[in-house]
Chains A and B, each alone.
Chain A
Amino acid sequence: GQQLNQSPQSMFIQEGEDVSMNCTSSSIFNTWLWYKQDPGEGPVLLIALYKAGELTSNGRLTAQFGITRKDSFLNISASIPSDVGIYFCAGQEGLNYNNNDMRFGAGTRLTVKP
């Protein structure tokens, strides 16, 4: 199935720096989700976005649902070592989560140097 275009693929940053990553799609989505995956674990939902233009924060994390409904970005402010992991975007065209139309980005691998 179609995958989302997520960038960058990897980031190496210094502790305290801000981070930005984004996801784009050729299709219009009704939902954008951002997940974090720690090594050897399953992804955990960070932020869910349901409306174009929506800006939502979760602690130091902020995500936005693009106006065109074809993109989303995730910002992490003042990074700390435990931010290390892989961040995935996910998007869904439909409104029913029981349908098989959830699409995932390939992930952004974040490394934070103390």
Chain B
Amino acid sequence: DGGITQSPKYLFRKEGQNVTLSCEQNLNHDAMYWYRQDPGQGLRLIYYSQIVNDFQKGDIAEGYSVSREKKESFPLTVTSAQKNPTAFYLCASSITTGYTFGSGTRLTVV
């Protein structure tokens, strides 16, 4: 079955460490997105990529970085520069019928 997979489901990191969240899709979608979700705030766009080797900043890109070396993969790195990294992170992809979301990664920084 085609889908979008995020890993790990839960991630704990010490403050000051960089951490990379994985997102893989086998839907053959061109566009991929990373969103951050905080309680009561809905979804906020971090980065998006419309095509391989190209990506654009979203509304809250500071402290994050991405790469898009393959169509199937769009990893997100949460750097030590991100002041409040604890959140639920959602990856999505799209082609013509709206977004398909992964099941999310909950990152907790202690």
Which residues does A use to contact B, with CB under 8 Å? 1, 3, 6, 9, 31, 33, 35, 40-45, 48, 88, 90, 97-100, 102, 104-107
Contacts and interface: CB of A to CB of B under 8 A. Distances in A.
B101 A43 contact: yes
Given A40-B104, A41-B104, A88 B43 contact: yes
B97 A1 contact: no
A107 B58 CA distance: 20
Interface string B74-106: 000000000000000010101111111111101
Contacts of B2: none
Contacts of A100: 33, 45, 48, 50, 56, 58
B43 to A, nearest CB: 4
Contact of B99 (A9, A40, A90, A106): A90
Given A3-B42, A43-B90, A88-B42, A97 B95 contact: yes
Contacts of A48: 97-98
Nearest to B10: A40
Contacts of B103: 40-42
Contact of A9 (B40, B56, B94): B40
Interface string B1-44: 00000100000000000000000000000110100000011110
Contacts of A40: 103-104, 106
29 contacts: A3-B42, A33-B99, A35-B101, A40-B103, A40-B106, A41-B103, A41-B104, A42-B101, A42-B102, A43-B90, A43-B101, A44-B101, A45-B98, A48-B97, A88-B43, A90-B99, A97-B31, A97-B99, A98-B30, A98-B31, A98-B50, A98-B95, A100-B45, A100-B48, A100-B56, A100-B58, A104-B43, A106-B40, A106-B42
